[in-house]
């Protein structure tokens, strides 16, 4: 290897890290001395099994060598960096706090690729937060890591337009590709050309909390626009769900798969009330235009045209099809378990 190449080590886990990995591997000015992801195990009942991050699955598929560590704050990992004479530790969506001893170990410190335009959306779920809030622009920040949560000074930011059909899955990959386009240049500017980071302005800072399964449950008091933002933000996980009625009265949790916001029609109704049925045109299994029926639901603001749902264990179906063979009053309120 050329002595002029920058020796780096890569810590990553999420999907965003995959395009960045390939950019680091292919960079002529960098020497990638190693790749590592978190070592996680399943919790709860049943046999213990290893949980593979998206990066690990990709490395296994492509035959890319990698390591997994229970904690990168261990002396074991510190010795790996020392042995490889790592100049810069690159981190992307790793999901583990790096302690000061590790941050200070590489000559040029640690570079974090964060999926927002800092100081906006510090924390665990910046991509989800940008979609929930209906943002039109997001980006990546190349940040010098410090002890605080995404509070370090920033070397460079790159903006990206959020497209109408972006969900969290698609947007994460697009942000990874955006970061991959600039990562080599940023690293060389830091290590060979003296690029200095700019401190973040704490005014206007916001935090994106870690998302849980319960976040996907719809409150019909939200606006129709907010619920549609949830559909984009919570795909592929935890998805968006609500309770539909059942014959026994207990209700069934179903996933909302396709919907669009509609303006208010002036009708006075409780949020969650089914106001009417409405058809939409899609291709059938033979490729021909066909008419399918969904339902229109009253929201806190506006109405939601619910096109398709997915009951447990079933594929997507038109929302009205769920009620086949069931008494269907138009003033039915969904979203709560029925007594």
Question: What is the domain partition of the chain in residue ranges?
Answer: 6-207, 213-323
Residue 325 confidence (pLDDT): 75
Is residue 254 within 8 Å of residue 320, measured between CB atoms? Answer: no
Torsion of the alpha carbons at 54, 169, 111 and 200, rounded to the nearest 10: -150
Q: What 8-state DSSP symbol labels residue 216? A: G
Residue 300 confidence (pLDDT): 97
Q: What is the pLDDT of residues 31-73, one digit of tens each?
A: 999 999 988 766 656 666 788 999 999 999 999 999 999 899 9
Q: What is the DSSP string of 4-73?
A: TSEEEEEEE-STTHHHHHHHHHH-TTEEEEEEEEE-EE--SSS---EEPPHHHHHHHHHT---EEES-TT
Rg for the chain, CA atoms, rounded:
24
Percent of the residues in the chain that have a pLDDT greater than 90, as a whole number: 84
Q: Which two three-digit tokens encode residue 190? A: 């830091």
- For residue 160, CA distances in Å to 127, 137, 294 come to 12, 6, 34
CA nearest neighbour of 138 among 150, 120, 156, 112: 120
pLDDT reading at 248 higher than 90: no
At 217, is the pLDDT very low, low, confident or very high (cuts 50, 70, 90)? very high
Average pLDDT, the chain: 93
Cα 165 from chain centre: 15
Residue 18 confidence (pLDDT): 98
- For residue 46, CA distances in Å to 41, 42, 43, 49, 212 come to 12, 9, 8, 9, 22
CA nearest neighbour of 208 among 115, 104, 308: 115
- For residue 197, CA distances in Å to 109, 144, 164, 192, 331 come to 12, 7, 33, 14, 58
Q: Which two three-digit tokens encode residue 282? A: 């899609």
Q: Which two three-digit tokens encode residue 152? A: 């370090």
pLDDT reading at 1 higher than 50: no
Residue 51 confidence (pLDDT): 85
pLDDT reading at 141 higher than 60: yes
pLDDT reading at 131 higher than 90: yes
- Fold match between 6-207 and 213-323? no
Percent of the residues in the chain that have a pLDDT greater than 70, as a whole number: 95
Rounded (10°) angle between helices 17-26 and 54-62: 40
Q: What is the CATH number of domain 213-323?
A: 3.10.25.10
Residue 339 confidence (pLDDT): 39
Conformation bin of residue 287: beta by default, left when phi > 0, alpha when psi is -120 to 50: left
CA distance 339 to 249: 6
CA nearest neighbour of 208 among 305, 293, 125: 125
Q: Which two three-digit tokens encode residue 140? A: 């990546």
Which is more confident, 2 or 164? 164
Residue 95 confidence (pLDDT): 86
At 3, is the pLDDT very low, low, confident or very high (cuts 50, 70, 90)? low
Indicate the class that CATH gives domain 6-207.
alpha beta
- For residue 209, CA distances in Å to 16, 126, 149, 215, 233 come to 18, 8, 12, 11, 13
Is residue 237 within 8 Å of residue 152, measured between CB atoms? Answer: no
Q: Cβ neighbours of residue 281 under 8 Å, at least 6 residues apart?
A: 289, 290, 291, 292
Q: Cβ neighbours of residue 283 under 8 Å, at least 6 residues apart?
A: 289, 290
Beta bridge mates, 290: 282
By DSSP bridging, strand 40-41 and strand 50-51 are: antiparallel
Q: What 8-state DSSP symbol labels residue 118? A: T
Mean pLDDT of 276-286: 93
pTM reported for the whole predicted model: 0.93
Residue 133 confidence (pLDDT): 97
């Amino acid at each position: 290897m050329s002595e002029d190449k920058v020796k780096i080590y890569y810590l990553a886990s999420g999907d965003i890290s995959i395009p960045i990995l390939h950019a680091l591997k292919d960079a002529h000015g960098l020497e990638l001395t190693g790749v590592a992801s978190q070592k996680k195990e399943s919790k709860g009942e049943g046999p213990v099994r290893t949980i593979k991050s998206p990066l690990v699955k990709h490395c296994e598929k492509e035959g890319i060598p990698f390591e997994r560590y229970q904690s990168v704050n261990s002396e074991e990992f510190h010795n790996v960096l020392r042995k490889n004479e790592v100049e810069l530790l690159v981190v992307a969506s790793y999901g583990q706090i790096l302690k000061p001893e590790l941050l200070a170990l590489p000559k040029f410190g640690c570079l974090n690729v964060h999926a927002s335009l800092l100081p906006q959306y510090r924390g665990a779920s910046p991509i989800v937060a940008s979609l929930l809030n209906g943002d039109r622009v997001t980006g990546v920040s190349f940040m010098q890591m410090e002890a605080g949560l995404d509070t370090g000074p920033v070397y460079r930011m790159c903006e990206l337009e959020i497209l109408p059909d972006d969900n969290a899955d698609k947007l994460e990959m697009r942000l990874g590709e955006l970061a991959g386009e600039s990562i080599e240049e940023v690293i060389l500017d830091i290590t060979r050309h003296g690029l200095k980071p700019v401190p973040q302005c704490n005014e206007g800072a916001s935090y994106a909390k870690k998302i849980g399964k319960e976040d996907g449950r719809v409150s019909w008091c939200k606006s129709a626009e907010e619920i549609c933002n949830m559909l984009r933000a919570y795909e592929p996980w935890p998805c968006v769900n609500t309770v539909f009625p059942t014959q026994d009265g207990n209700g069934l949790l179903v996933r909302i798969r396709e919907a669009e916001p509609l303006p208010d029609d002036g009708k006075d109704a409780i949020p969650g009330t089914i106001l009417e049925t409405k058809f939409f045109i899609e291709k059938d299994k033979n490729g021909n235009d066909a008419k399918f029926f969904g339902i229109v639901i009253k929201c806190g603001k506006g109405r939601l045209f619910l096109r398709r749902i997915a009951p447990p264990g079933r594929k997507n179906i038109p929302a009205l099809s769920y009620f086949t063979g069931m008494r269907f009053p138009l003033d039915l309120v969904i979203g709560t378990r029925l007594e």
